Amino acid sequence: MKNYFWILKSLMIFCLGFSFLISCQKVSSSSQNCPKRDSVQKSLDAIQPGIKVETVKPSPVEGLCEVVVKLPNEEKGLFYTNLTGKYIITGSILEIKTLRNLTQEKLQDLNKKVLSKEQLSKLDKMVDFTYGNSKNVVYFITDPDCPHCKKAEDILNKLVKEGKLTVKVILLPIEALHPDAKSKAISLICDNKGFKELMEGYKNSNLCEKGKEKINQNISFLLNELKVRGTPTFIFPDGEMITNVLPESYILQKFK
């Protein structure tokens, strides 16, 4: 599961298709001109109040303008409009030659979060179990029943087996999405299980008080203090926090 809670709810309005019509005032169709920010804001207020337009500027694709917005949860969102401001265009811009997802890269940059040394120190004390012996350490925040987390676990398992990575796992079950996740997380703690059992979906009836207390501490710390907004979430030694399934290449380049 990724990018849930408020951001998911807020972005729903941009997922209605690739040409959701709005009525912004027309401006010059010159390739250098985009709709005025106030004009886009006025039209957006008419369909979804509470979303603030921050910038409107030319996108990497000629004829399209990039609109950056601030969502109610303080996260940044991104969509595109044409030069006259007549349409909202959702989806990703992919660069064919390199296969780079320019939209995703922009969103990651806009929402980049970096933890302080103090926060990293607190995070290290919250680790539930460690997998691997490499000097390259990544913190991995995961929900036992999150399907996207399972994809991330496969990537991490491969890197650990190759001796390229050590994974420090912190369990963050989201019961609202996965009803059995919390009991699985608790039983992993109570039975002193690790990454292998996490991947296998381990669950036992042993729901000890120690496990309940630890998982509740995880939930409070990660959601309230670090403002984690989804799983899987990766946190690197430089403090960068990213919620997504990251490719192997990105993980490794963080340690070069």
Local confidence band at 163 (pLDDT 50, 70, 90 cut-offs): very high
Q: For the residues 208-222, what does the mean pLDDT come to?
A: 97
Predicted pLDDT at 25: 40
Please report which helix (H) or strand (E) contains residue 190, including its range: helix 181-190
Q: Whole-number mean pLDDT of the chain?
A: 87
Question: What is the C-alpha separation between 253 and 236, in angstroms, rounded?
Answer: 11
Q: For 188, how many CA atoms within 13 A lie in the half-sphere containing its CB?
A: 30
pLDDT at 55 over 70: yes
The domain spans of the chain are 5-110, 113-253
In this predicted model, which residue has the larger pLDDT, 86 or 212? 212
Local confidence band at 162 (pLDDT 50, 70, 90 cut-offs): very high
Local confidence band at 8 (pLDDT 50, 70, 90 cut-offs): very low
E-strand stretches of 87-224: 87-89, 94-95, 100-101, 113-114, 129-131, 137-142, 166-171
- Give the domain 113-253 fold: Glutaredoxin (3.40.30)
pTM of the prediction?
0.69
3-class secondary-structure state, position 142: strand
